[in-house]
A and B are shown apart, each in its own frame.
Chain A
Amino acid sequence: MADVLLTGASALLAFQRQLDTTSHNIANVGTDGYTRQRVTLQALPGQNFGNGFIGNGVQAVSVDRLTDPFIQDRLLESLSEQSRLDRFSTYADRLDTLLSNTDTGLAQPMQNYFDALQGLSANPSSSAARNSVLAAARTLITRFQSLQTQLDATQNDINARLTQAANTANTYAAQIAQVNTEIANALAASGGQPPNDLLDQRDQLLSQLSKEIGISTAAQSDGTLNVFTANGQALVIGGTSSRLSTLPDPYQPQRLDLAIDLGAGPVRISSLASGGEIGGLLDFRREVLDPTASELGRVAASLALTVNAQNHDGMDAYGSLGGDLFNVAGPVALGSSTNTGSATLGASFANVAQLTGANYQLRYDGANWSVVDATTGAAVSFSGTGAAGNPLTFGGVSVVVSGSASAGDSFLLKPTASAASSLALATGDPNRIATALPVRIASSLANAGTATAGGLAVTDAADPNLLSSASIVFTSATTYSINGGPAQAYASGSPIAANGWSVTVSGVPAAGDTFTVSANVAGSSDNGNALALGALSTAPVLDGGTQSFNATYAGLVARVGGASQQADLQKTAQDAVQATLAAQRDSVAGVNLDEEAANLVRFQQAYQAAAQIINIANQTFAALLAAVRS
C-alpha cells in the first residue's frame, strides 16, 4: 500500500508552502511593485499495485508570480508619458500664469504705455503728460526685463533638473544592471526557479527609470533584460549600464544638452530623447520656452524700433528732430565652439515687419553660406554674400561677416534673444519725445481763392531739406510751383510733396495764392507726431505688417495657454490610461486581502486535514502494533 504517512507528510509540506506564500502575499500587501505569488502544486506520480495506480501525495513544484508581461510593457510606456506630461504641464502652467496674469504679463504695461502716449497727444505741451509717458515706458521696460529674468530662471531650472534626472536615471540603470546579474545567478543556481522578488524589484526599477526617460526593453534568455532609450540607445545591457550626462550646447555654453556615453565619450541626444521627466523638460524647452523667449524679444525689439522710427519723424520740444526713445540690443550671433576660422558675424535689424520668432543657423561650406531654421532645420532663403556692402539678409535681419570662416564653421543667430533684457530708455528727458510734426504750413492771409491745406505729413524725415522753408505758389487755378520751380499741374485733393513732406491742398486757388511750409519751432504744441506715436498701439507692424504689438502678445499668450491646456488635457487622458492599466495589472498581480484570508482558511483546513492523515496513519499503525502485541 501507499505510504499514508509519506502522503500526509507531503501534503503537510505542500500546504506549509502555500501558507508561507499566502503570508508573504499578505505581508507585501503594501509593497510597491509587489506581484502576488502562487504555489504550483502537482500530484506525485502514483505507484502501480497491479490493481491500479495509487497516488503518493503532492509536491510544490514552483512558486510563480502572477504577472502579465504585456501589461507591464504598456505600463512602462504609460508611466513615461505621464511623467513627461506632468513635467511639461507644470512648466507650461507656470509660464502661462506668468504671461496671462495682469500683474506679471506684458499686456497691461504695454497698454499703459500707449495710453500715456495717447494722453500726450491730447495735451502735447503738458510736462505731466510727457513725464507719465516716461514713467509708463520705465514700467514697460521693467516688465520686459522681469519676464526675461523669469524665462532665464526657467532655463537654469531646466538645466538643473536635466542634470538631476540624468543622474537619477543613471542610478536606476546601474541598479537594473546589478539586479540583472543577481537574477541570472539565481536562475542558474535554482535550476530555473524564478527569483520572484528580484523580478519584482527589477520591474519596480524599470518603472522608476521610465519616469525619468522613455525606455523600451528586451528580455534575454538568461533572464536578464536589456534596456534602451525610446530611440534605441542602450542604457543597460545585461550587467552593464551606460551613463547619461549633460553637455553644454556648442553655441550657448549656459544651456545644457542631454548626452549618453556608450563607451566612446558623451554623444548629444537632446533631439532624440523622448518621454519621462527628461523628455518633458526637453519638449517644454523646445516647444514652449524657446519660442516664448524669441517672441517676447520680437515684441521688445519691434516695439523699440517702431517707436524710435516714429519719433525720428517728429520734432521734440527743443525744436530738434526726434531721436531714439529706446535702446535695444541687436541680434546675437554665436559661433560654434568647434569653429576653426576667425570669422565673426555682425548682425543688425533690417526690417521690423519681417522679423520672425525663429533662430537661424548659418553654415559655411568653404565657398558659400547657407541659412537654416535652427529649430526645424528647414532651409531659409536669403540674399547677399555677407560682405559689408552686401550683407546676408533674411528674416528681417542683415548679417555682415568679418574675418575668414573655415569650411564647416557654423553660427547660431538669435535675432531677438537679447532684446527684452537689453531694452532701456535712450533718454530720460521727457522733452525729447517728438510730439510735433517737424514742419508746419501757413496759408497767406492775402489768398483770394478758396483752397485750403490739410493732411500735412512727413514722408521722409531723413530728407536734408525737410526743415527748409518752401512756398507753394499757385500760378493759376490749375498750376503751382514750389520755391519758384517749374509749374506743376494742380488737382484739388491730391497731395503736393517736396523736401520729405506732403500736404493735401483742396479747393480752388486764385493765382498768387501762397502756402508756406516751414520748420516747426521749439515748444510747439502740435500733436501731429504724438498722434502717430499713440496710433502705434494698434498699428499692424509685425508679421509683414499684419499684426499689432498687442495682437502679437495676445498670440503668444494664446500659444502658451494652448500648450498648457493641451498638456493638461493630455495629462488627464494619460492619468485615465494609467489608472486603467494599473487596474488591469492589479487585477492580475495585486494582492487582495479577502482572497488571501480565504486562502488562509483554505490552506489551514487542508493543513489540518493533512495533519489528520498523519494522525490516522499513526492510529492505524498503533492498531496494527496492538494487534501484533496481543
Chain B
Amino acid sequence: MISRIGTSFLHLQGLSAMLLQQAKLAKVQQQMSSGQRLTRAADDPAAASNALGIDQALAELNRHDENAKSLQQRLNAEEGALTSVGDVIARVQELAVQANNGTYSDSERKAVSAELHQLYDELVGFANSGDGTGRFLFGGTQDGAAPFIRTAAGVTYRGDQGQRQIPLAPGLNVVDGDPGTEIFQRIPSGNGTFTVSAAAGNAGSASVQAAVVTNGAAWVPGNYTIQLAGGNYTVLDATSTVVASGAYVSGSAIPFNGISVTIGGTPQPGDSFGVAASGSQDVFATVQKLIDAVDLPGTTPAINAQRSTLYFGAQQDLAQALAHISDARANVGARLSAIDAAGLQRSAAKLDAHTTLSNLRDLDYTEAVTRLSLLQTALQAAQQTYQRVQGSSLFDFLR
C-alpha cells in the first residue's frame, strides 16, 4: 500500500487511465464498424490462421458451384441430343417394320428410303451437336471440330476417346461428357452375342425369323455356317467341322452351342446362312444397312427372302442402338443427379464453413455493445475522477 503520492504521478495516473480507456474504445469502434472480431492476426493468431484455411475451402466450394453450373449445362445439352437421337432411331425402327412388308412395291420402298436418308442426315447432325460454347459434345477431348465426318465409306470419327473429370465437391469428380465412339460407335451388333446373315447367292425363299441365346455359357464365339440341303441342316464351324445337324423344318429352331436360329421358308439346296460373333457397329452403318436393304430392287421370292433377313438384322441392330442410347441417357441422368447431390453436399459444407468462419472472425454485437457501454462508463469515471482529484489542492485554502 502506497501511503504517499506524488502530485505529478497523480496527474499522470489519471491521464494514462483516460488514454487506456480511449484506446480500448477505439478498438471496439473499429470492431463494430468492420463487424469483425479479428482486425489482424495478433487478435487471435490461431483463429486467423484457421480462417485462412477455411477461406480457401470456401473459395474451392464456390469454384465447384461454377463447375457444376457449366457441367449441368453441358450434360443437359448432351441429354437433349441423346433424346433426339433416340427419337430418330425409334422412327427408323418404325420404318424398318413398315418396309418389311412383302407386298411393298419398289416405289413404296423408295418413299421409305427417302425418309431414311433424311433421318441418316439428322443422325449425323445430332452426333455433331455443339455444347453452346462452340465446342462439340461428342468429340472427346478433340472437340474443337465436328467429330463425325461423312466419307464415301460412311461416317468416320475424328475425335478421341478422352473424357474430362470435373471436380464438383471435395473428392468428387464427375465426367462431363461422352466421346462419340462410346455413344454412336461401340454398339454391339445383332442380338449382342451373334449375328445371322444370309449368303449372297441364296436362291430359295428361306429367311431368318429369330436368333436367340438359349445358354450363354455354352456359346463359343466364332463363325459358323448353317447349310441347308436335302431337307436337312448342317452347322459347320470355321474349320468346317460339323457342330450340329438335323432335319430342317421351316419355322423351327436350329439349336447349337447354346444359341438357336430359326429359319423359315423353303430353301434351295446349297442355300446357307452365316452366324458370327457380335462386334461393334456404329449406328450410321446400321441405318445405312437398312437403307441398302430397302433399296434392294426386285420382288422375286429370293430377293424378298434376302431383304427379309436384312430387315431382321437391321431391327436387331436398331434395338441394340436404341438400348445403347437409352443407357447413355440414363448415365447422363445419373450424372445430373450426382450434380444435385454434390450441390447439397456443397451447401452443407458451405454452411459449416460460414458458421466456423463467423465464429472465428465475426463480432458478437451484443457482447461488443455491452463492452462499448462499459468502456464509456469507465472513461467517464476516469474523466470525472481526474477532474475531482485535480480540483482539490491545499493551496486553495491558504489565502
- Interface residues, chain A, with chain B CB atoms under 8 Å away: 29-30, 92-93, 96-97, 99-101, 107-108, 111-112, 115, 118-119, 121-126, 436, 440-443, 445-448, 520-521, 523-527, 531, 534, 537-538, 550-551, 553-555, 557-562, 564-565, 568, 579, 582-584, 586-595, 597-598, 600-601
Closest residue of chain B to A598, judged by CB?
B394
- Check B52 against A557 for contact (C-beta < 8 Å): yes
How far does the alpha carbon of A526 sit from the alpha carbon of B163 in the complex, in Å? 7
How far does the alpha carbon of A526 sit from the alpha carbon of B160 in the complex, in Å? 10
- Check B67 against A537 for contact (C-beta < 8 Å): no
Q: From B42, B71, B143, B166, give the contact of A93 (CB < 8 A).
A: B42
Instruction: Report, as a range, how many residues of chain B touch the other chain.
Output: 35 or more
Q: In the complex, what residues of A have CB within 8 A of residue B6's CB? A: 586-587, 589-592
How far does the alpha carbon of A561 sit from the alpha carbon of B66 in the complex, in Å? 34
What are some 18 contacts across the A-B interface (CB < 8 A)? A101-B40, A111-B55, A115-B60, A118-B63, A122-B176, A448-B221, A520-B141, A520-B162, A524-B162, A525-B143, A538-B60, A557-B48, A557-B52, A562-B42, A564-B40, A587-B4, A590-B5, A597-B394
Shortest C-beta distance, A512 to chain B (Å), equals: 11
Known: A525-B144, A526-B141, A593-B393. A122 touches B41 (CB 8 A): no
Q: In the complex, what residues of B have CB within 8 A of residue A111's CB? A: 55-56, 59
- Check A118 against B164 for contact (C-beta < 8 Å): no
How far does the alpha carbon of A588 sit from the alpha carbon of B4 in the complex, in Å? 7
Q: In the complex, what residues of B have CB within 8 A of residue A550's CB? A: 52-53, 56
Extra inter-chain contacts (10) besides given A119-B63, A527-B164, A531-B167, CB under 8 Å: A121-B166, A122-B167, A440-B141, A525-B142, A555-B49, A558-B45, A561-B43, A564-B41, A586-B5, A587-B6
Q: In the complex, what residues of B have CB within 8 A of residue A525's CB? A: 135, 141-144, 162, 164
- Check B41 against A560 for contact (C-beta < 8 Å): yes
10 A-B pairs with the lowest CB-CB distances in the bound complex, closest first = A590-B6, A561-B41, A561-B45, A586-B6, A558-B49, A564-B42, A100-B41, A597-B394, A526-B141, A586-B9
- Check A96 against B16 for contact (C-beta < 8 Å): no
Known: A118-B63, A565-B42. A446 touches B280 (CB 8 A): yes
- Interface residues, chain B, with chain A CB atoms under 8 Å away: 2-9, 12-13, 16, 38, 40-46, 48-50, 52-53, 55-56, 59-60, 62-63, 66-67, 70-71, 133, 135, 141-144, 160-162, 164-167, 173, 176, 181, 185-186, 221, 277, 279-280, 393-395, 398
How far does the alpha carbon of A92 sit from the alpha carbon of B40 in the complex, in Å? 11
- Check B40 against A96 for contact (C-beta < 8 Å): yes
Known: A538-B56, A584-B2. A122 touches B166 (CB 8 A): yes
Known: A111-B59, A448-B277. A30 touches B8 (CB 8 A): yes
- Check A591 against B8 for contact (C-beta < 8 Å): yes
Known: A111-B56, A122-B166, A587-B3. A445 touches B393 (CB 8 A): no
- Check B393 against A592 for contact (C-beta < 8 Å): no
Shortest C-beta distance, B85 to chain A (Å), equals: 18
Q: From A107, A583, A589, give the contact of B52 (CB < 8 A).
A: A107
Shortest C-beta distance, A458 to chain B (Å), equals: 14
Known: A440-B141, A445-B280, A525-B164. A561 touches B4 (CB 8 A): no
Q: In the complex, what residues of B have CB within 8 A of residue A534's CB? A: 167
- Check A597 against B393 for contact (C-beta < 8 Å): yes
